[in-house]
Amino acid sequence: MTDASAPTKTILRALKGETQAVPPVWMMRQAGRYLPEYRATRAQAGDFLSLCYNPDLAAEVTLQPIRRYGFDAAILFADILLIGQALGAKLWFAEGEGPRMETVTDAAGVAALRPAGEVHETLAPIYETLKILTRELPRETTLIGFAGAPWTVATYMVAGRGTKDQGPAHAFIARDREGFAALISVLEAATVEYLSAQVEAGAEVVKLFDSWAGSLKGQDFDDFALKPTARIIAALKARHPDLPIIAFPREAGERYIGFAKATGADCVALDNSVSADWAAEHVQKDGCVQGNLAPHHMVEGGEALTAETKRIVRAFSNGPHIFNLGHGITPDANPDNVQRMIDAIRG
């Protein structure tokens, strides 16, 4: 007899802790500049933010890699910094240079941000994109919503742009730890509101991207990466008890160990700075892991791509695993290499 309530979608099964002979697969940034169809839609939108806030076009680019490759999941097309914009910090994208934000560098700047409950007006188009996707996606495809984790979003809000070392945010902590904690608190509350609304609009899984978690050490990692993630997950699970949540504390290294248990995450996504064998021994014992092929293989291709893909599948074959890259696919990747990776997984 089978459990009638058990999920049938492969990603949901992995997130429930099921070991599958063939792991489900999707890719971070699978809707992106490496695809000619994405570039055409992006040109139609005019600019990146216009694409994010146009539900029809955002849904279209989300669907493109599903049509082309048949991934097991589609991830909402949006950007982690939209939450900062929704809180009142101006956001724009400089062509060829990436995001720029109005800076929040002290307690007064934090106090001037909008309350968490007011983010929905700005973010309403994102929820509309999800509603379109719930209608348009194949029945077997899982729909993933996401947000940036508070620390990572805060690093952009404090610096006004991406930085190599997240130095401005670390400097804020050093001069006013309480003020910085207040910014994290605002972002936490807003992230719960945002992700909860995504679930109500149709997201079946949500993922927290803490892209710069690796720059936090010791107590700072606990206070600004681990504990905020745990509080967000607890709040979301209180509202949506059956919601699976993936956490990605990128480059956490040894701190990946026990991260799922400490935060309540159903799955920990792994970057490619840790080996699959190490992660299978130390991280997968606590549940589902996601990862962790190095993105450069999608540029270089060849037998090395096939061999490394199969090696990762083997390393994680004794527990629940979602195959993915260790970071986002890069614009210079060859679309043919994505198919080669999928064939190696499913072949």
Q: Which residues are catalytic?
A: 29, 33, 42, 79, 156
Query: Is 278 in contact with 240 (CB distance < 8 Å)?
Result: no
Per residue, what are the HEC states of 113-127? CCCHHHCHHHHHHHH
The residue assigned the tokens 């989300």 is: 62
Going through the chain in order, the beta strands assigned E by DSSP cover 73-75, 91-94, 98-101, 142-148, 205-210, 245-249, 267-269, 288-293, 321-325
Residues sharing a CB contact under 8 Å with residue 281, sequence separation 6 or more, in sequence order: none
Give dist(CA 161, CA 157) in Å, integer. Answer: 7
Q: Give φ, ψ of 216 to 5 degrees.
A: -95, 135
Residues for the chain: how many in total?
347
Inter-residue contact 1 to 34 (CB < 8 Å) = no
Alpha carbons 285 and 289: distance in angstroms, whole number: 9
